[in-house]
Amino acid sequence: MKFGMSQRALWTVAALLVIAPAALARLATAQQVPAGLSLSFTGQAVQVQGMTPGGTVVWFGIGREVVEYSAIQSQRQQTTVADAQGQAALAVADGVPAQSVWVAVDLKTGAYAQGSPAGFAAGRYELGGGALGLGSGALPDQLLDRSDFVHLLLVRPGKGAWALTVGRGGADDESSPGDARLKVSFDKLEPMLPGVAAPAKLSAKDLLLVAHPRTMELGILTVG
């Protein structure tokens, strides 16, 4: 099962100011899942309840399947519309992988629900100190990540959603060979809604999701 991304672009950043751990701690805020917001699974769909009625739902998922001793990775980034009861479903034609993690985000509010099929527990890691870089002047903010392959989703409530897949040493990785982490500028993320370009700078209430598909880990940060 494969889910592709559209064309990507590279913009080299000459200088950036890394956020100190104490400053990052002030930016990151824990977000509680609102009452009634939850995910459920069928063989070929992921469903969410509790979204804004008639509102846009942003989906983000990664999966892993083992076929003849080989691990097949998959990812999904898509939008749907909730019905009048605040329910939405994401069809997965090839079947929801037993080992997968999914997030549904209410675009209007930024509230989200995370879940996995029964029997699988996805890993969770903290987007801690040094995970973000503030671009000096007009330079864009960046994600700095220890993994060699990541899927990103950025949601700005009421504004838009943007996603990108980045591999270490690939076209979108802005790090140097000797750097310990890959680097990607947020303004290079690709829009999930037409006509809304990715922001260069993070803003309060932005929701950032970073997935490590090879270890099936997910990091979530809400900018305060």
Look up the pTM and report it.
Answer: 0.82
pLDDT greater at residue 170 or residue 103: 103
Q: What percent of the chain has pLDDT over 70?
A: 83
DSSP class of residue 180 equals S
Q: Residue 44: pLDDT band by 50, 70, 90 thresholds? A: very high
- Where is pLDDT greater, at 18 or 216? 216
- Each residue's pLDDT tens digit, 69-110: 777 889 999 999 999 999 999 999 989 999 999 999 999 999
Give Cα separations from 94 to 44, 57, 75, 206 (angstroms).
7, 21, 12, 32
Average pLDDT (66-70) is 76
Is residue 22 helix, strand or coil? helix
Highest mean pLDDT among 10-19, 85-94, 131-140: 85-94
Instruction: Check: CB of residue 140 under 8 Å from CB of residue 186.
Output: yes
Q: Average pLDDT, stretch 51-61?
A: 97
Helix H or strand E encompassing 26: helix 21-27
Q: What is the pLDDT of residue 30?
A: 40
State the greatest distance between any 2 C-alpha atoms of the chain, in Å, as a whole number: 52
